[in-house]
């Protein structure tokens, strides 16, 4: 089946399922056909494009995208359509479970915020009960679970706490890093990724949880999650892209993949804005200490040659500094190289493992953007948190 025919099938499926909630429910499908043997990546991207983008980057979309595509094989392969309808109903029930608290409910919310565990959490995040309640009252999207109010309240408070902590403090101290690990996990040790872990959102989520990530803090309907991020201050003011140090990411080879890429535009703006600032930060301070030729003498083995080769393949006519061709994985290695760390960067970051932790949390997002894939709510949280932390250092230190 060619891409055009596959895309028509995708559009038909989307039309049949109708409600936006359908795409979230596809995560619950467990159909047997192997998508990689039937549909191309462009067709997968096209399916995602057929749905209203207001649902955003939800974990549910991605946990079993392959199952979503397999759902289009209902007529072709005789898969029971009741599986799809049942999943849609399950998801609609899930969304209906969330609501906005009325004034009478805030008495029980205040009581929950006064429990010992949450009092301790709020204290560690330097948050007050009144500020959490104030943020809750700003919410316009249903966020409180009728079935598990305790988890919703706890998760909302933690999101606000993370935002407050980062906005008020230097993010690379021992105390701040320890607090953030309670919810974001411990990423200090070197982490290796298999191709399956990067491409399977189930496996990726499992890896996050095994690292200590608290999955409840992103388990809101997408609109509520994004609004709660805005209330926390985490998702406002993305770093401006610095043109000279911008990232040389080519456009996708076909229209469908480019459309998928554009749907990640917000994450793209945040990450590549951050990367341009990190590049300038490294360049300014390394040049100040070692001179303009520092990339030749002060990079890890083979890194300079890799940059030169990447530059050679760049077909643009722009004359850019060699650091322009650095990859996200290069920054931590440059900063934490022993001589660079001792002479330059130990002034800005208290420990090398804190730098490694930040860039490792960003790596899966960078992978998705490079491959024109949408990102999950977990990854959005990592992106906003680590960008804010790094930008605090860069802005403060110049």
362 and 277 part of one domain: yes
The pLDDT tens digits of the residues spanning 181-236 come to 999 999 999 999 999 898 887 889 999 999 999 999 999 988 899 999 999 999 98
Has residue 353 been placed in a domain?
yes
- Dist. CA 42–CA 257, nearest whole Å: 5
Task: Indicate whether 263 and 334 sit together in one domain.
Answer: yes
Last residue of a domain, one of 232, 254, 275: 232
Q: What is the model's pLDDT at position 194?
A: 93
Give the pLDDT of residue 251: 45
pLDDT attached to residue 88: 55
Following DSSP, what letter does each residue of 296-351 receive, concatenated? Answer: HHSS-TTHHHHHHHHHHH--S-----GGGG--HHHHHHHHHSHHHHHHTGGGT-S-
Are residues 320 and 379 located together in one domain of the fold?
Answer: yes
Q: What number of other Cβ atoms are within 10 A of residue 116's Cβ? A: 7
Are residues 204 and 253 both part of a single domain? no
- Same domain flag for 122 and 214: yes
pTM of the model: 0.77
Distances (CA, A) of 121 to 127, 152, 294: 8, 14, 44
CB 101 within 8 A of CB 144: yes
What is the pLDDT, as a whole number, of residue 49? Answer: 40
Domain stops at, among 63, 96, 129: 96
351 domain-assigned = yes
Structural domain for 335, as ranges = 243-397
Distance of CA 52 to the CA centre of its chain: 20
**Bridge partners of 98?**
145
- Three-class SS state of 397: helix
CA distances from 233 to 159, 170, 229 (A): 10, 15, 6
Instruction: Specify whether 381 is located in the same domain as 248.
Output: yes
- Residue 23 covered by a domain: yes
Residue 398 structure tokens: 């110049």
pLDDT at residue 243, rounded to an integer: 67
**Whether residue 48 is found in the same domain as residue 109:** no
Q: Do 284 and 164 fall within a single domain?
A: no
Domain termination residue (choose one: 191, 213, 232): 232
Same domain, 364 and 261: yes
Which residue ranges in the chain fall short of pLDDT 70? 1-92, 94, 243-244, 246-264, 372, 397-398
Q: What is the per-residue pLDDT for 169?
A: 77
Query: What DSSP element (H or E) covers 52?
Result: none
Residue 251 contacts by C-beta under 8 Å, 6 or more apart in sequence? 258, 261
Is 237 within the bounds of a domain? no
Rg (CA), the chain: 23
Task: Report yes or no on 84 lying in a domain.
Answer: yes
- How far is the C-alpha of 185 from the C-alpha of 207, rounded, in Å? 10
Distance, CA of 26 to CA of 166 (rounded, Å) = 35
In a domain, 238, yes or no: no
Answer yes or no: do 163 and 29 share one domain: no
Here the tokens at position 210 are 């095994």
User: DSSP string of 238-250?
Assistant: PPPP-GGG---PP
Residue 222 lies in a domain: yes
Based on the domain organization, do 193 and 108 belong to the same domain?
yes
Number of domain units in the chain: 3
Q: Look at residue 332 and tell me if it is in a domain.
A: yes
Q: In terms of domains, do 265 and 328 share one?
A: yes
């Amino acid at each position: 089946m060619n891409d055009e025919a596959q895309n028509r099938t995708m559009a038909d499926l989307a039309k049949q399922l109708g409600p936006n909630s359908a795409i979230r429910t596809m995560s619950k499908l467990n159909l047997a056909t192997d998508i990689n043997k039937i549909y191309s990546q462009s067709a997968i991207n096209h399916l995602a494009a057929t749905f209203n983008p207001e649902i955003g980057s939800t974990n549910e979309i991605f946990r079993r995208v392959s199952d979503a595509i397999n759902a289009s094989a209902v007529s072709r392969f005789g898969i029971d359509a009741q599986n799809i309808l049942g999943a849609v109903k399950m998801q609609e029930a899930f969304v209906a479970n969330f609501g906005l608290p009325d004034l009478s409910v805030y008495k029980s919310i205040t009581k929950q915020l006064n429990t010992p565990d949450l009092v301790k959490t709020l204290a560690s995040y330097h948050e007050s009960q009144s500020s959490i309640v104030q943020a809750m009252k700003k919410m316009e999207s249903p966020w409180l679970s009728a079935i598990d109010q305790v988890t919703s309240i706890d998760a909302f408070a933690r999101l606000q706490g993370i935002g407050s902590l980062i906005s008020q403090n230097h993010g690379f101290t021992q105390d701040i890093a320890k607090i953030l690990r309670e919810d974001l996990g411990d990423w200090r040790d070197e982490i290796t990724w298999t191709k399956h872990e990067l491409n399977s959102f189930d496996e990726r989520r499992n890896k996050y949880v095994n690292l200590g990530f608290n999955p409840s803090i992103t388990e809101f309907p997408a609109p509520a999650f994004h609004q709660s991020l805005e209330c926390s201050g985490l998702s406002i003011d993305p770093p401006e892209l610095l043109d000279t140090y911008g990232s040389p990411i080519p456009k996708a080879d076909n229209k469908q993949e480019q459309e998928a890429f554009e749907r990640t535009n917000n994450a793209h703006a945040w990450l590549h804005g951050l990367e341009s600032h990190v590049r300038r930060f490294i360049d300014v301070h390394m040049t100040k200490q070692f001179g303009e030729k520092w990339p030749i003498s002060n990079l890890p083995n083979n890194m300079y040659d890799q940059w030169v080769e990447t530059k050679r393949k760049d077909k643009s006519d722009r004359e850019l500094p060699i650091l322009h061709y650095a990859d996200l994985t290069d920054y931590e290695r440059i900063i934490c190289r022993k001589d660079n760390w001792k002479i330059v960067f130990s002034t800005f970051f208290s420990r090398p493992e804190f730098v490694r932790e930040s860039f490792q949390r960003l790596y899966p997002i960078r992978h998705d953007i490079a491959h024109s894939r949408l990102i999950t709510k977990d990854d959005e949280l990592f992106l906003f948190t680590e960008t804010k932390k790094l930008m605090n250092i860069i802005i403060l230190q110049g």
